[in-house]
């Protein structure tokens, strides 16, 4: 039996075109969905790039501030370095300094009543002693600081006692007797030679001390700066 379409002609055309339109709608919706996804991804990536650029700008600003602070503190660092250098220089000078005032106090402390000094001379090195006009050959025995003492005693035995007491001073390494003899009293009893009575033995002793810590002690005959030499005390009281 043959099927018969009872719909009018205008309804038949609308039904046929409706099937095609429905398919196009799905295609358009798919394209729109893809565009929405792509727009969202683009916006997200753009926000990330903007955030990174903002972070880079902030870091650059912080770096500029840090450099400015470092530049402001550079002068203080230079001052600190200069201060440390001056402290080291002062410490070096202090370590190499010879405390002659302490040495002279030690000599006065150990000097016995039966001995008195007519002169005392302290030198930092043999070369300084030569520059000062000394002619004592014992002074050149070592390059250490030394004190040359000259004076008188009542007896020869007291010279040995004096040398023993001189060895008890701080930092003493050696005590050498240059001479010990009665003066040639050609003028008779009671005459004085070199500040000593004719009957009193005259002595000349060299006391050597350990050099200061860190000091470069020059050898005998080497060039050296002038030594600090205490003022001689001729005719010191007994």
Please give the average per-residue pLDDT across 1-16, as a whole number: 60
Q: Is the pLDDT of residue 142 over 80?
A: yes
In this predicted structure, what is the pLDDT of residue 166? 93
In this predicted structure, what is the pLDDT of residue 22? 62
SS3 117: strand
Provide the terminal-to-terminal Cα distance of the chain, rounded to the nearest Å: 168
For residue 164, name the pLDDT band (cuts at 50, 70, 90): very high
CA angle centred on 177, ends 171 and 182, rounded to 5°: 140
Q: Is the pLDDT of residue 68 over 80?
A: yes
Q: Is the pLDDT of residue 70 over 60?
A: yes
In this predicted structure, what is the pLDDT of residue 15? 54
Backbone torsions φ then ψ of 151, nearest 5 degrees? -175, -160
Q: Is the pLDDT of residue 96 over 80?
A: no
In this predicted structure, what is the pLDDT of residue 10? 62
In this predicted structure, what is the pLDDT of residue 228? 37
| Strand 192-193, strand 146-153: pairing | unpaired
In this predicted structure, what is the pLDDT of residue 197? 77
Q: Is the pLDDT of residue 189 over 70?
A: no
Who wins on pLDDT, 20 or 103?
Answer: 103
Q: Tell me the Cα Rg of the chain.
A: 53
The gap from C-alpha 21 to its chain's centroid, in whole angstroms, comes to: 94
For residue 218, name the pLDDT band (cuts at 50, 70, 90): very low
Distance CA 182, CA 95 (A): 42
- Neighbour-count burial of 177, counting CB atoms closer than 10 A to its CB (0-12 exposed, 13-18 middle, 19+ buried): middle
pTM of this structure: 0.49
Q: Is the pLDDT of residue 80 over 60?
A: yes
Distance CA 157, CA 159 (A): 5
The gap from C-alpha 236 to its chain's centroid, in whole angstroms, comes to: 43
Which are the contacts of 147, defined by CB distance < 8 A and separation ≥ 6? 103, 107, 120, 121, 122, 206, 207, 209
Q: Is the pLDDT of residue 60 over 80?
A: yes
Residues of the chain with pLDDT > 90, as a percent, come to 13
Q: What is the DSSP letter of 7?
A: S
Please give the average per-residue pLDDT across 47-56, as a whole number: 86
Buried b / exposed e across 34-58, counting CB within 10 Å, b at 16+? eeeeeeeeeeeeeeeeeeeeeeeee
Supply the mean pLDDT for the chain: 75
For residue 12, name the pLDDT band (cuts at 50, 70, 90): low
Q: Is the pLDDT of residue 185 over 90?
A: no
Q: Can you say whether residue 220 is alpha, beta or left, with left for phi > 0 and alpha for psi between -120 and 50 degrees? A: beta
């Amino acid at each position: 039996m043959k099927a018969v379409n009872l719909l009018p002609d205008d309804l038949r055309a609308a039904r046929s075109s409706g099937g095609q339109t429905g398919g196009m709608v799905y295609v358009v919706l798919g394209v729109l969905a893809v565009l929405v996804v792509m727009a969202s991804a683009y916006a997200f990536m753009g926000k990330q790039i903007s955030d990174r650029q903002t972070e880079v700008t902030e870091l650059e600003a912080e770096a500029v501030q840090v450099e400015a602070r470092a530049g402001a503190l550079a002068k203080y660092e230079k001052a600190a370095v200069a201060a440390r250098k001056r402290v080291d220089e002062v410490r070096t000078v202090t370590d190499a300094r010879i405390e002659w005032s302490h040495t002279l106090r030690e000599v006065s402390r150990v000097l016995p009543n039966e001995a008195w000094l007519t002169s005392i001379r302290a030198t930092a090195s043999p070369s300084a002693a030569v520059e000062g006009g000394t002619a004592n050959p014992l002074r050149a025995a070592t390059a250490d600081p030394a004190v040359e003492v000259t004076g008188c005693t009542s007896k020869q035995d007291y010279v040995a006692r004096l040398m023993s007491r001189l060895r008890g001073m701080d930092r003493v390494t050696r005590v050498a007797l240059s001479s010990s003899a009665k003066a040639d009293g050609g003028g008779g009893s009671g005459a004085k030679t070199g500040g000593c009575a004719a009957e009193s033995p005259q002595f000349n002793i060299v006391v050597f001390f350990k050099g200061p810590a860190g000091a470069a002690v020059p050898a005998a005959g080497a060039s050296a700066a002038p030594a600090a030499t205490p003022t001689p005390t001729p005719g010191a009281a007994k």
